[in-house]
Amino acid sequence: MAEARGRDNWNHTSAVLAMIANLNRDPKKTPAFQPADFDPYRPRKATRVSRKAGFAMLKSVFIDGKGCQS
């Protein structure tokens, strides 16, 4: 029951946070926030890593030192 109450409280809090964030955002630059964006109980989607660069890029960054130029 305690977890259900916590989820219910976060549903309310995330709706309020989404409303405040949408009031303060620039509608031309950013998309609208949804309450699910602020809900810690919502399962997060795994981010995909692009593997198109290959090992040649990793060699140039870590071994040759060409990746971090200041």
What amino acid occupies position 58? Answer: L
Number of domains in the chain: 1
| SS3 assignment for 8-59 | HHHHHHHHHHHHHHHHCCCCCCCCCCCHHHHCCCCCCCCCCCCCCCCHHHHH
Percent of the chain scored above 90 by pLDDT?
A: 21
Residue 36 is assigned to a structural domain of this protein? yes
Q: What is the pLDDT of residue 68?
A: 54
Residue 58 is assigned to a structural domain of this protein? no
Residue 31 is assigned to a structural domain of this protein? yes
40 CB contacts (<8 Å, ≥6 apart)?
10
Residue 27 is assigned to a structural domain of this protein? yes
Question: How confident is residue 64, by pLDDT bands cut at 50, 70 and 90?
Answer: confident
